[in-house]
Structure 1
């Protein structure tokens, strides 16, 4: 035996002896050995026993070679042969002596292989603690011939590099693990993107395709093309896209996955029993391309989830699969067939514009579509003061828009009329099949005259009743122009436009006032679907803000989705009336709770963390750069479990990320006592103004002192009022921390935790904006105080 071979053998023995073994599983697969599907205990297990590699059942007598989490929830994170499963008998994975790792089916057919070669030395296949399956060639030093981290399927593990050569491809469905239609990859312009690669079309849908790259917060000026989710829950990409998961820093197992519905999600394993979503790219799944296929409409509500429906005049192509969408029930482009349009309210079909007519009338748009055989319909949309027409050659990516945009679907006139009849069939009123009555007249039998009169009165009465019922029916259907599209726009949708009459009725003529502020008055109301809502009537926007501008801003607010932001259900814009409809919070505002002294230290700490997470989301994770500009206890609401939700975000000022953070304001915004010095000294306004206000709010929670009351009543030695921030700093300098804490909280707090929160709040309230941390840094410091010691 040569010295080199002896060294290799000793190296291999070291690997073997430093790895714990069990009798029923392997930790290494050596050259010339194999794993058989016939032996159910043939597995490769990672040294920490967190991951297992072996044959995983994906169907009846169908197996794939996969890697999964070992315990409890056997979640698959990688698969070698996802599109060609092997037989449940006599199939095996073998490590050939030439260095090739091969998966063979029962008939010896090679289903999958690494196509690697080793010239000399030892070969070892090992499953690492991080879930990476690695084929090592050991010739003096271990050398990686192949690793599963370079070829992910639909899942990315923490610290697994995602490169220019990587891609995540969704599974076909929840139970079908073969390759689906959605792919995460780096585009040629260096931007991390999501692609819908369907049976008929292909389109990029994330970042939002109508945005320019820099408007979406991305950069094309780095060709390294690499991204990674770290073990703490922070994701960063070379195109400057990044985010923090909502449980950032927690020591839990995580996975990042392109799900079968086309959404990217990051999951955390909670208590080893359940995967919970901690971040997702889309809060509204209907905006994902291709989810319902062509000629269909995607609708969503928080109660029923996502649903697909064929557009009127079309039928489902594959009864078991919405990916193939719907096909026409008629033959298109028949010259002898007259055509007309069905109008769908609150609907948009993204992309595939055949033509664009600027400042067009509705009739001109209809005529253009009727004259073009390839036109399937058109979008008629109000934008920047005029109506524009978008002729469609394909009806893809249909979804609820939430605004009064209409889509007109071109159909044969017979189907257009049946659309009306289809709606009438849902009427509760049923007319008699025979509207006439035969009456026998006799002039020579006087006793029958009374019978004839009775029959005449009875027939006349029925006629009057029918007329009344028809009038009532027409009145009901004419009250809301959107009711003709009822099949396509559920009343219980998550975000909708309300009428002023609806909200007036919901609030009992605006008699249930629950709060008021500089932006407007808030009323409690009960919506038609029995949801309890907070309805804010805005003051200032009615005089200067147009309908289009208000809709654009409220649309942005409606798209934001975070557990620590108040959920926006809809809006109303009629004349000068501007109202926003929010979810109702049982425990009201933080200001109210601070007055009632019902919050102990633990609740206050949770409120501080939750509020910071909500603001960090607004500042750093939205496509639009959203400043709150009025962070104060009145705008932090508490649900039944005292979890905080930031309210009134986005109404102060909305920005596009490409404009940069330094932006001009036409006037000072915010509330005295909570406002950053930048407002007073006319300095550029950035997200740090919210950071300052947040710091003051935290100091108010700790001290129980209102910054506004202190400025009004507490005089300082300098001859001016002393701010809350200055008062706290003086107390800390005098080593009187105990005097800072609200007397209602005394004896209930941890001194070390208190000092950490105080330090963070004072950092946030620094006069120099550059000395203040970002909100994501605040979240990190609150969750990991030990790292800042």
Structure 2
């Protein structure tokens, strides 16, 4: 028996509160019954689901629900969604019946008629229907697969199913055929049909198409390639594709792939996102993480920034769209609308000139293609064409000739590198202002438009009894609130407790007090590691979870900044990244609490007794690559680790790797001495890319280089930091371990003999290795540690190479 007490006696408020609730209970129960949502498993003929009642169907496994879902202000769609809300409280939709024609929040219903027809109506007006008929009894039910099916009751054969008409998502084991297609949503908040389509084209090949009111173009596979050049097979009579329950996608055109977590039966979905990219998401606790995506170069997606704009991708900040000189944004809240000129193209040719935009390509819309052209000839062709907006002047390495492409529209512009150069046609006054001082053009942001449905209807006369009950309940509810405020005023807890609870919600973690940290760590009695960022102690929470506690001794920024960075880390969720449980930000204390890894760091396991055989090392290499690929390309905020090394790779009880300290580079204070030779450098000697030393632009390729050094250390057993008596510059420039490996493999790992492999391999595991795997891993590592960052692969490319190492 539980008794509410305060200072050893029952508070009078609780007695009053109890009597008050007992008085209200019958009234509130009756009022609630008028509006409570009803969950049913089957919709019978002649029955309906009503928008006001929030009726919905549920699957037997309770994983999916189908019913009215609010997609805007007073705008509803009949949809299917995952019943479990995500961490942000939102539901994940997988299908919609009326995405382009939402219905009202009143007097709308979804009915199964006596004739066997499913109809969605709004105040009697039909908005959507299956147009099905059946002379036999039928029923509607939602299956465990997420498929909404209209079935005959006697033999359970399908009359209609939602799997045959997907919107932007297909679920595991859902057939994708010639007559089905995925269409993206208009924006993250507007679920109506967007500009992107995923479908089987007339040549039986899966394609991605951008289709706006003005233009239409295919961008995947690369449109200039023939099907077999893109690895596709158009010669098939059976047109079919499917994502199975273990994360494997197969298609009759030979477009096949595996998710990064394939082999396990997990909850996944394949979605055509609003940015035109196909991604597979895996449900991990209460969040979706990307386990595969079709395009890693997001700026290559057609129409992503609209006309007359440039797309730029930076790993730290993601994709941005910016108008070119002389152009302005059509709508600053919707990047897909692009930009429009601030001048007219109606003047004679002599009033125009050109500005050069290096390394930029505008794909498509060529009115002329001139071979053996000079720059002057190309300029003249554009000036003589009143419809010309610019031109592209490119050196063709195959023909060894310059080519000119005259453009009537400027779409799909992004920085592609050499040998692409574009020239923008502008009035001479604009060219002059550009040459004097290049303006910083306005940037565009993703669309945040939201549907608002205003559809007036004649109101029915309200029921007098219901009105009275609603008013009466409202008045009594107000009295209840006043009583609660009165009680809170006299019994409120200190404000710090409330603040802690609020901050815990905002960051997604538990906020510990410093006293709690001292207690959990038993006064910091058991140190389990230390590094440049801080000291790590072992601890135990009240629920008996063993944790690692990292005390950051250099994190001296303000509490608000620290909490902002913790919020960023809280949105990062991947099986190969360490999971953070909580934090402490009290006074000058900045402490992280995260999961404890039973087998310590990779560094400890490489330098200690022989615990890591070849197979474990290879799986660790793949797992670390997956974690870094997620940080670089897949999580909501792109993050550079900047300190990839064996000490920051932790191993759980099964030796599964998890990358740690991926957020600490953002948590450390950047106040450094001006006379420091490496004032901007982050990382650990021996694992750092040359860009840090030579003051080159820092991109995600610095992590790729560090990853390559870690892999070389795993293969050879030699640490790149083991050289003594050598300056830091000498270590970075000579790259002793790298040079030694390259000398052994002669830059051709795939041709290594078994004797050469044994010379390179860590002596502690010579008895167990697989030739194909070690050759592939060596090849990947050598590519990763190239001095030229542009030659290094991305981490997602590394994952793909390792997954196809001959044993998959």
Compute the TM-score of the two structures, normalised by the length of structure 1.
Answer: 0.56
Aligned to 1:340: 353
- Shift in alpha-carbon separation, 1:344–1:145, aligned structure 2, 3 A: same
Q: How does 1:213-612 map to 2 (within 5 A)?
A: 213-271=227-285, 273-335=286-348, 338-384=351-397, 385-403=400-418, 405-423=420-438, 597=607, 601=611, 607-611=617-621
Structure having the higher Rg: 1
- Residue 182 of structure 1 and its aligned partner are, at CA, apart by 0.3
Does 2:138 match 1:128?
no
The CA distance in 1 between the partners of 2:648 and 2:261, in whole Å, is 21
Kept after mapping to 2: 8 A contact 1:58/1:64: yes
Aligned to 2:79: 66
- Residue 597 of structure 1 and its aligned partner are, at CA, apart by 1.3
Aligned to 2:95: 78
Does 2:671 match 1:641?
no
The CA distance in 2 between the partners of 1:268 and 1:35, in whole Å, is 31
Kept after mapping to 2: 8 A contact 1:265/1:278: yes
- Residue 700 of structure 1 and its aligned partner are, at CA, apart by 4.9
Aligned to 1:102: 119
Q: Deviations over 1:151-208 (max 9, x none)?
A: 0000010000000011000000000001000000000000000010012000011001
Unpaired stretches in structure 1, ≥5 consecutive residues? 1-21, 427-561, 565-591, 618-635, 649-668, 681-691, 706-723, 729-757, 767-773, 782-789
Of residues 75, 85, 89, the one that matches 2:106 is 89
Q: Paired residues, what number?
A: 486
Aligned to 2:563: none
SS in 2 for 1:331: coil
The CA distance in 2 between the partners of 1:243 and 1:637, in whole Å, is 30
- Shift in alpha-carbon separation, 1:197–1:674, aligned structure 2, 3 A: closer
Aligned to 1:627: none
Q: How does 1:665-704 map to 2 (within 5 A)?
A: 671=744, 700=761, 704=764
Does 2:178 match 1:164?
yes
The CA distance in 2 between the partners of 1:779 and 1:181, in whole Å, is 39
- Residue 404 of structure 1 and its aligned partner are, at CA, apart by 5.1
Kept after mapping to 1: 8 A contact 2:247/2:265: no
Kept after mapping to 1: 8 A contact 2:610/2:764: no
Kept after mapping to 2: 8 A contact 1:65/1:80: yes
- Shift in alpha-carbon separation, 1:365–1:80, aligned structure 2, 3 A: same
Q: Higher relative contact order at CA 8 Å, sep ≥6: structure 1 or structure 2?
A: 2
Q: Deviations over 1:13-33 (max 9, x none)?
A: xxxxxxxxx994100001100
Kept after mapping to 1: 8 A contact 2:395/2:403: yes
Q: Deviations over 1:38-58 (max 9, x none)?
A: 102x11000000000011011
The CA distance in 2 between the partners of 1:217 and 1:593, in whole Å, is 41
Kept after mapping to 2: 8 A contact 1:695/1:763: no
Q: Say what the alpha-carbon RMSD is for the aligned residues.
A: 3.8
Aligned to 1:548: none
- Residue 415 of structure 1 and its aligned partner are, at CA, apart by 1.5
The CA distance in 2 between the partners of 1:165 and 1:224, in whole Å, is 12
- Residue 216 of structure 1 and its aligned partner are, at CA, apart by 1.1
Aligned to 2:522: none
Aligned to 2:129: 113
Compute the TM-score of the two structures, normalised by the length of structure 2.
Answer: 0.55
Kept after mapping to 2: 8 A contact 1:637/1:647: no
Does 2:196 match 1:182?
yes
Aligned to 2:502: none
Q: Deviations over 1:633-678 (max 9, x none)?
A: xxx9858326696749xxxxxxxxxxxxxxxxxxxx9946998997
SS in 1 for 2:432: helix
The CA distance in 2 between the partners of 1:676 and 1:201, in whole Å, is 47
The CA distance in 2 between the partners of 1:89 and 1:425, in whole Å, is 48
Q: Deviations over 1:665-703 (max 9, x none)?
A: xxxx994699899777xxxxxxxxxxx999989x956x6
Does 2:65 match 1:52?
yes
The CA distance in 2 between the partners of 1:425 and 1:289, in whole Å, is 24
- Shift in alpha-carbon separation, 1:677–1:420, aligned structure 2, 3 A: closer
Q: Deviations over 1:504-530 (max 9, x none)?
A: xxxxxxxxxxxxxxxxxxxxxxxxxxx
Q: How does 1:701-720 map to 2 (within 5 A)?
A: 704-705=764-765
The CA distance in 2 between the partners of 1:126 and 1:80, in whole Å, is 15
SS in 2 for 1:142: coil
- Residue 777 of structure 1 and its aligned partner are, at CA, apart by 7.4
